[in-house]
Amino acid sequence: MDSIVRKVQAMSKFLNTIAGISLTFIMFLTIVDVILRSFRRPIVGTYEIVAFSGAIVIGFAVPLTTLLKAHVLVDFFVFKFQKRVRNIFHITTRCMGIFLFSLLGWNLIKIGMDLYRTGEVSLTLQLPFYPLAFGLGFSCFIQCLVLITHILQVLGGKYE
C-alpha cells in the first residue's frame, strides 16, 4: 500500500510543480504586460494566456492539496462521533468524491476529443483548447487515485 501512496504522491507533486510553474508564469506575464502597456506595447493575448494558465494552476494543484489535506475541512462535527462512525463518514465522502471526479474527468476527456476533432481554438492567439481539457481530465483521474489512497488509509487505520 505504501508504494501505491508514494506513486500517487509523486504524480500529484508533478502536477503541482506544473501548477507552480504556471502560477509563476502568470505573475511574470502580468508584470511584463503592465510594464509594456506603459510604453503602449502590450503583450497580445495576455488574457487568454492567463485564463489558460489559471485553469492549469487550479486544476493541477487539487490532487496534492487533497493528498496533504491542505484544503479547508469542516470536521469539527464529525470528530464528536466514535472512530467507526468517522471512518464510515470518511469512506462515504471519498466515494462521493471519486464518483464526482471520475465523471468530471471522463467528461473533460470527451470534451477534449470534441475540441480536437472540431479544431476549436482561442480567439486572439489561436491556441487549441483540447490540451487544456485533456490535462484537467487527467488531473481529475489523479484526484480519484488520491481519494482511493485516503480510503485505503482509513481501512488500514492510518488515516489522520
Long-range contacts of 9-16, Cβ-Cβ distance < 8 Å, separation of 24 or more: 9/64, 9/67, 11/63, 11/142, 11/145, 12/63, 12/64, 12/67, 12/142, 12/146, 13/64, 15/60, 15/61, 15/63, 15/64, 15/139, 15/142, 16/60, 16/61, 16/63, 16/64, 16/65
C-alpha grid cell, residue 15: 502536477
Overall average pLDDT of the 117-138 stretch: 98
- Which residues, other chains included, contact 93 with Cβ-Cβ below 8 Å and sequence gap of 6+? none
Q: Please give the grid coordinates belonging to residue 130.
A: 483540447
According to the model, what pLDDT value does residue 94 have? 96
pLDDT tens per residue, range 74-103: 777 788 889 999 999 999 999 999 999 999
Whether residue 20 is predicted with pLDDT greater than 80 in this model: the reply is yes
Residues 120-126: what's their mean pLDDT? 97
Average pLDDT taken over every residue of the chain:
95
Specify the pLDDT at position 2.
82
